[in-house]
Structure formats: C-alpha cells, structure tokens
Amino acid sequence: MRQFLLFISIIAVGLVFIARLFYLQVYNSSGHDLFEDNAIRKVYDYPKRGFVYDRNGELLVANQPSYDVMVIPREVEPLDTLEFCKLLKIDKERFINKYKKAKHYSPRLPSVFVSHLSKEDYAVLQEKMRKFQGFYIQKRSLRNYETTIGANVLGDIGEVNNAIIRKDPYYKMGDLIGKQGVEASYENTLRGIKGIKFIQKDRFNRNIGPYKDGKFDTIPEQGKDITITIDAQLQAYGELLMQNKRGGVIAIEPSSGEILAMVAAPTYNPNILVGRDRSKNFTKLYNDSIAKPLFNRSLQGVYEPGSPFKLMNALIALQEEVLTPEETVTCYAGYKYGNRFMKCHCNRGTRNDMIGGIQRSCNAYFATTYRKILDKNGNASDGIDTWSKHAKSFGLGNFLGYDLKVGQKGRIPDRDYYKRIYPKTFYSTYTISNAIGQGEVATTPIQLANMVAAIANRGHYFTPHIIKNIEGETLPEQFTKPKQTTIDKANFEPVIEGMLQVYKKGTAASLQVKDIDICGKTGTVENFVKIDSLKTQLTDHSIFVAFAPKDNPKIAIAVFVENGYWGSRFAGRIASLMIEKHIKGHTTRKDMEEWLLKHSLENEYAKPYSGEPFRINGYTTLQIVEEQEYYKLKKELNRINKAEN
C-alpha cells in the first residue's frame, strides 16, 4: 500500500485544483464584460444635447457646460480631507456622508460626489485634482433656457435615479435624463448616444493606452435638434394673461393637430431647475400642494366641461336624427323633470331652435335634446351607449395619444358605468346633468380643445402633438393621419352657426374681434370641494372654447380658469385675445389686456384654506393686483407686443 500515498495525493490534488478552477472560472466567473472589468477604464464622451426651437425657429433651449466631481470609492487613496473640503466648499460631515453613500451604491462604479461646480471652483480644483486619487472631474452639459416661459412644455433634465439605471443600462450614475415635458418625451432623440473609450489601466491606476487600439471605442452621436409646435410668442402671451389665475389654456391648429400654446397656471421659470439649486427649487415646487405648479392643468386638470359640452349633445342629436335644427323648445326659465327643476338664464317663454339654444346656452333646450337622444329607442341604457360612442369618437373619455407624458382620461360614462350606480332601473332623467356638461362627464382642457378642433374641421381631427420637426426624420403617422368622428359633415353647420351667434349676439357678444368670425361657446361650471368633510360650493369655473376663423380655421382653443365665475368673464377674454393675437399677429384691445393683468383670483383660491366662512359667485369682488406687480406684468406685455412687431 505504501506506493499509493503519493499516487493518491497527486490525483487528489489534481481533482481539487480542477474543482477550484471550475468554481473560479465557470461557476463564479466575473466574465468578459468590459464594463465589469476594472482593469479597463471607461471614459464617456457626452454628446451635445439637441436644441429645442419653437415653430417660428426661435431658440428656446440650448446647453451650458457644467462640471461634476466624481468618485470611485475603491480607488480613493488617503487624502488631505480638509483641503479637499475647502476646495469643494463642503464641510467634513457632508464629505463623509457623500463618501459613504457612494460606497454604498458601488465601490467600483463612479458616483457623483459634488455636482455643478461653478466655473471658478472648477478652475481652482482642476489644478489640484491629481492630488486626490479616486476623484475626477466629469464635464457635462446642462440646459440653458433662452426663455422664461413654457416650463410645463419644455420640461427639464435631472440626474437619473437607481430605478432608471437598473431598467436601462445605457444610463450611468450622474447621467442626465429628461424628466418632464418634451425633454422626457423626446429623450432618446435629444440626448444622442454617448461615446465610450476603453483604456487599459495598470495596477497603479495609470493609463497605459487604449484597450486593443480602440477597437471597441465608439464616438458620440450628437443629439438631434427638434422643433416644437409651440408658438413662443403666443405661449408667452397666454402665460402672461393667466398670471394670478389658475387653470389651463390649450390652443391647437385644427388643420394639423399642432399644439400652438399650452399654458398651465401657475407655472415657473424653467431656469430655476438648472444647476446647483435644482433640487432645492424642485422640492419647493413639489411641496406646493395648493397651487401645484408642477401639475400641468392643461393636460392633467380634469374638469366638468359645462356648457361647451352642449355642442357635443347638439351634434349627437342631429346625427341620431332625434330633432332637426329648426325644431324649437320653449324655455320656462328652466326645465322641469319629475318633481325637480333645472334653472336657465332664458326669459320665461323663450322659444329656442338649435342656433338659439347654443347662442343663449339654454339648459331647457339641451335637457330636452339629451332626453331625446337617450330615449330614442325607448331604452335609456341603449341610448347612453350610443351617446357615449359618439362622444368618445372625439377623443373624449380616454387618453388622446399626444406626445407628452402626463395626462388624464377624463370620463364619458356609458351603460356599464351607470349599471354600477343604478343596478335596477335607469331613466334618461337620472343623468340629465350630462345634458349641460355637468354630472358625470369630465374632460381635460386638451380634450375639449381637440373636440373644438374636430368641430372646426367639420368631422375629423389630428391627434394633438407637440413635435413639429426632428432633424432628418418624418413625423410618425399617428400625428399626420386624420381621425374621423362618427358625426357626418353636414350636421356640423347648424352647430357652428350657433357658435358664431354666441359671438355675434349671444353670451360672448362683448368679446367680438373686428374682421374675424369667431365661433365659440362659454361655460360656467359649478364646483365643490370638501372643507372639513363638508361639501362646499366654490365660485364657478370660467370656461371658454372657440375656433376661428369660421371658414378655414387657424386656431381652436380651450380656456379653463378656476373659480373665474362666468365663462366670458376670464376664459372668454383670454380666448378672444389669444385668437386675435394668433390670427392678426397683434392685439387691438389694450383695455381688455390690462383688465386681465390687473385682476387676480388669488384671494378666491385662498378662501377654502382660510378657515373662515366665505361667499361665492355674485357676492365676490374682484381682487386688484398690487401696483408693483401690475407694472411688472405690464412691462412683460410690452415686451411681448414689441417682439411681435
């Protein structure tokens, strides 16, 4: 047996070695991934982020350089912390915290240590950087807004978070990504593709040379410039008129679906979300849960549409042939159904045909119309489905499919919806509020603007969109192919005539613009909030929709002003001015502009939070802005008006 000791030892050692090799190289191998290989330094070359232009070629968003101090914790050598902190202008505690956080994220991957150095700090630091092993300076490009408007459209870029990095390995710690607006929607177009250089390191962390002569290196692909559909002047004008109000304005070009202006009020200056103060300012905006400046009211605000929805009911009635335009309904200053009564502004005994009904916004006329639609076949459930189908063909009750990331579906109820509320019996009178755009129907401003665009086009619409042109690309078909509604072209004429009469002698007669035939519809919407679990009514929302000119329309617009009282008071004025501005290129009614600048609704918005009892609608007085604020706004107005000429 003695001769076997060495023999067995050799075999055993051989097997143990192969098992160990298997464990190290096959089972637990670190693999060949160049990105995982810490013998290879990865140097990223960030491309220029694409510029953003408005529809007239005005540069809105450009770039500015910025410098981040990055750290790779594993490569950090003992250093003079005091000097380093002094150079970075941070205290030691922050230094330790940042270092721990970076190490926790990954000891071998770079993390941002201090972001957005000023040019002066960068210049000083750069000379001393070699003293701090494991730290380096990464040049990045930040946004530079050439304008103060359109924060909700343009959006912003910010550092990627861990969730994004996990989902898309393109992004590395400290990379910037579009967070909102077009920056988010067109992230891949704007960002380009960063280049990468693989550099062979030695064990002293020195560069020896390019890995494999740069065989795997890539050069950055520049971000593409984009042109958006926004008219910067109209946008600026809209934002100015909405100062000290809350709500949304959407203007669409009916013939293309291009969004001309998209105002959400209140808004903020996009420049405050750039650079070192970004997170501070963002937190401030984010935490403002009352005014909600980050909430894009024109896309996300869900409101009962009010009277503008009567247009929809008129169209459905004509399509379903439940009445003719000439048929009249007598209004008894309201509409009686069962033992209930819906009030109306008409004089008792007014006889309205369709044009008159629209022009005077007669509740009785539309209550009758709505009931006729639902009761057409004697079954209100069938009727509500037919009604719902027509309304939905205008893009209501669902996401429109536009190219911005935020939105709301709104609501167009149907049989299933009411089945849950009224499981047993269902009559048309149960939902009579829908006749006047209140009750269960709910829309966002952009949906309503799109509905008006479809009316302006007499039956079709283009999906609203913000992108006008991408360098060297054509727009996707979804934005260039018209979508047909279920209403025949002929049925639009009486409704449009009614909308024209709204301006000529109806609820918006005071808002006429010389030489332009505007078709519009006012809306005044009751609204409620809960204050201490008590349903409390607030001053009505002021709503207005319009398109112009009547023939060959250039603009369709929807304006929502929260708690602005009646439709033509705030929303109508703003719509009228913006239409004039867009079509004529200048405005003639300086007094109307000044009226809007001068009046604020801030005290109206403060009421529900005051804790005091308050009165609404007719019992309120308008708040006049302070002189200083007024001059500021006036100056801005002059600037905009001058720029146009």
Binding site for other proteins (CB under 8 A): 2-3, 5-7, 9-11, 13-14, 16-18, 20-22, 24-26, 28-32, 37, 39-40, 200-203, 208-209, 211-213
Which has the closest alpha carbon to 360: 567, 510, 523, 507? 507
Q: Are 189 and 49 in contact (CB under 8 A)?
A: no
* Residue whose token pair is 């008894």: 332
Nearest distance from C-beta of residue 7 to other proteins, angstroms = 6
Q: Is residue 357 within 8 Å of 366, Cβ to Cβ?
A: yes
Q: What is d(CA 322, CA 319) in angstroms, rounded to the nearest whole number?
A: 8
State the helix-helix crossing angle for 380-392 and 363-374, rounded to 10 degrees. Answer: 110
Closest distance of CB 34 from other proteins, Å: 8
Distance CA 96, CA 133 (A): 16
Nearer to other proteins, 107 or 549 (CB): 107
Closest alpha carbon to 623 in 641, 597, 585, 593? 597
For residue 133, the minimal CB distance to other proteins (Å) is 13
Paired with 177 in beta bridges are: 158
What pairing do the DSSP bridges indicate for beta strands 52-53 and 59-71? Answer: antiparallel
CB 295 within 8 A of CB 250: no
Question: Shortest CA distance to 147 belongs to which of 222, 51, 266?
Answer: 51
Q: Is 519 helix (H, G, I), strand (E, B) or coil?
A: strand
Cα torsion for 324, 328, 332, 335, to the nearest 10°?
-10
Q: 569: closest CA among 499, 508, 505?
A: 508
Give me the least distance between CB of 102 and other proteins, in Å please. 16
Query: From CA 105, how far away is CA 101, in angstroms rounded?
Result: 6
Give backbone dihedrals phi and psi of 225, rounded to 5 degrees, phi first: -75, 145
- Looking at residue 526, its amino acid is E
The residue whose two tokens read 């309205």 is 352
Residue 120 CA: distances (Å) to CA of 113, 128, 469, 548: 18, 13, 38, 53
Q: Are 223 and 48 in contact, with CB atoms under 8 Å apart?
A: yes
* Collapsed DSSP state (helix, strand, coil) of residue 85: helix
DSSP H/E element including 261:
strand 258-265
What does the DSSP 8-state code read for residue 68? E
Whichever of 16 and 82 has its CB closer to other proteins, that residue is 16
Least Å distance between CB 475 and other proteins?
46
Rounded to a whole number of angstroms, the minimum distance from the CB of residue 16 to other proteins is: 7
* Closest distance to other proteins from the beta carbon of 242 (Å): 59
Indicate the residue among 214 and 476 with the shorter CB distance to other proteins: 214
Assess contact for 159 and 135: CB atoms under 8 A. no
Shortest spacing between CB 9 and other proteins, in angstroms: 7
Nearer to other proteins, 208 or 624 (CB): 208
**Nearer of residues 40 and 62 to other proteins, judged by Cβ:** 40
Residue 493: partners with Cβ closer than 8 Å, 6 or more residues away: 458
211 vs 479, which CB is nearer to other proteins?
Answer: 211
Closest distance of CB 264 from other proteins, Å = 52
And the tokens for 411? Answer: 């609501």
> Residue 284 Cβ, how far from other proteins at the closest point, in Å?
40
CB of 196 to other proteins, least distance (A): 15
Burial class (CB in 10 A: 0-12, 13-18, 19+), 142: middle
* C-beta closer to other proteins: residue 179 or 201: 201
Among 345, 336, 313, 547, smallest CA distance to 438 is for 313
Closest distance between other proteins and the C-beta of residue 113, in Å? Answer: 20
Per DSSP, the residues of 139-165 read: EEEEEEES-S--HHHH--EEE--HHHH
Shortest separation between residue 298's beta carbon and other proteins, angstroms: 54
Distance CA 438, CA 304 (A): 5
* CB of 198 vs other proteins, minimal distance in Å: 9
